[in-house]
Structures are given as structure tokens and as C-alpha cells.
Amino acid sequence: MKHSTPLFFILLSILFATACEGPDTSPKALVNVFLVDAPANWDSVVVDIQGVEIDFVQSGRQGEIQKIWMPYEPADKSIDLSKLVNGNALPVSRREFLIGQITGVTFKLGSSHALYQGDKRYDLSLPSGNTDFYNNLNVDLEPGISYDIILDFDLEKSIKMVSQNPLSFSYNPTIQTYAGIGRGDISGTIAPTDLKPALYAISGKDSISTHTNTSGSFLFRLEQGIYTLYIDPKDNRYKADTIFNVEVKSGQRTTLDRITLPRR
């Protein structure tokens, strides 16, 4: 019993100190990470995702960058990117952050990637085995606000056909990262709906691409500004089309009239 009394007081002191600290009431912001796709004209593209690492500087600690890991939790980490069209998004991860600034995002992939065309699978090899894809991002986190970070995986730019016979591809993931706040949308429908046209929203020298879903519908999430919309039918029976001066306003959706591609 000689040792039990000091031990008791030590444990009591720890419990008292913990009770005095109470719950963490530091002001926080919620960060949600979503994956969207600008798909290529393939039947299916499946990628292996692991999660994201956030570069974060807490308020009052300028110059001290923390690496915050946000994993993709499901056991099955193989994602069919071709299904993420017309505004569909995959929730990757979410967590609370202290107040501060996000300065960068690293999207971490696994090693298993494949393209399916018809009944055939084509393995896609990451360049030099690289699985980490970094983008600068500046987001100031304020207390009580929820922030969306969007990972836009552009398959049209990521996958290039090297040869047709035999069919082979080069693969270099092209991923744009941006905050959802301040963006607007362009949406619409293209006929015939059974086409799989590629659409490009062009501003200056920059462009972003997407495809339609099975109903012919599409959606772009873009910074506010004036865009040219170019539609490539990817079918030589139809002519391409161009729509000029499409305005995107922050927090608003611009819905275009139904677009019917003319036959040649």
C-alpha cells in the first residue's frame, strides 16, 4: 500500500487537469474535398485514389507549414471517373481545421489505373511511377464556414492515344485544384443525346473540357468571366459548333438553350 497513495494522487491530478482543460473550443472551419471529372471519350477510366495532403499555415504561425492528411476512407479505392459528369462529384474527405490559410494541395493516387474500351482493359502507367500531384491553392479559413475544395481530373488532357494498332496510350494525370467559393456554372443539353461530344470552355489561352452524360447534359464549374464554348462531336457525321460570349457569374448558373449539332 506504500505505493498506491502517491499513484492515486498522480492519477487524480491528471484527471483534474484534463477536466479543467475541457473540450476544445478553438474556432474552426470545415473543409470538404470533392473529386470531379472532365472525362475523355472512352467507355470507362478507373483510377486508384488515396486521399489528399493539405499544406496549412495556422493563424499566428506564419511560415510554419503543417501537412494535414485527409484520406479517402472506403476500402475500395478504385473510382470510375467516367461517371463523374454533369455535376456529379465524389466526396473524398472532410475534416475540421483551425483558423489559418491553405496554401497547397497534394492529390495522392495509388498505382492501379486502367482504361476500358469495349471488352478490353488497358493498364495505364503513371509517369516515372509518380503518385503525388501538387497544386498551389490560397484559401483563407474563417471560423464557422464550410469550404469546398474541388479536384478536377481532366481525362481529355491526361490520356493520349499513342497508336491505334495495337491500341496504346500515354498517361499523365492533369488535375486542377480550386476552391468552390466564387465559381459559377454553365449547363446545357446537346442533341443528338447518343453522341459523346467533347466540350471545351475557353478563356484566353486556358481551357477546360468535359463530356455529356447519357441524357446529353453537361455542366462546367468555372471562375466568373466570359467564355467561348466549343463542341467537338467526335463523329464525322456531325459538324462542330461554337458558342461565343457565354457569361459566368459568381454563385450563379448560366443555362444554355438546347444545342443541336448539325449534320454534315
pLDDT tens per residue, range 177-198: 998 877 888 999 999 988 888 8
**5 within some domain:** no
**CA end-to-end distance (rounded Å), the chain:** 97
Q: Does residue 107 sit in the same domain as residue 152?
A: yes
Residue 215's domain is classified under what CATH number? Answer: 2.60.40.1120
Residue 19, C-alpha cell as written in the block: 477536466
Q: Which pLDDT score, from 0 to 100, does residue 8 have?
A: 40
Q: Does residue 170 sit in the same domain as residue 198?
A: no
Q: Does residue 36 sit in the same domain as residue 165?
A: yes
Question: Among 17, 105, 92, which Cα is nearest to 65's?
Answer: 105
Query: In sequence order, what are the beta bridge partners of 187?
Result: 219, 255
Tell me the backbone φ, ψ of residue 87, rounded to 5 degrees: 90, -5
Q: Which residue range is the domain that position 107 belongs to?
A: 26-181
Q: Does residue 82 sit in the same domain as residue 174?
A: yes
Task: Count how many domains the chain has.
Answer: 2
**90 within some domain:** yes
Residue 152's domain is classified under what CATH number? Answer: 2.60.40
Q: How far is CA 19 from the centre of its chain?
A: 41
pLDDT tens per residue, range 102-146: 999 999 999 999 999 888 999 999 988 899 999 999 999 999 999
My answer on whether omega of the bond before 23 falls inside 30° of 0, hence cis, is: no
pLDDT tens per residue, range 48-82: 999 999 999 999 888 789 999 999 999 999 999 87
Q: How far apart are CA 251 and CA 214, in angstroms?
A: 26
Q: How far apart are CA 103 and CA 13, in angstroms?
A: 41
Q: Does residue 133 sit in the same domain as residue 116?
A: yes
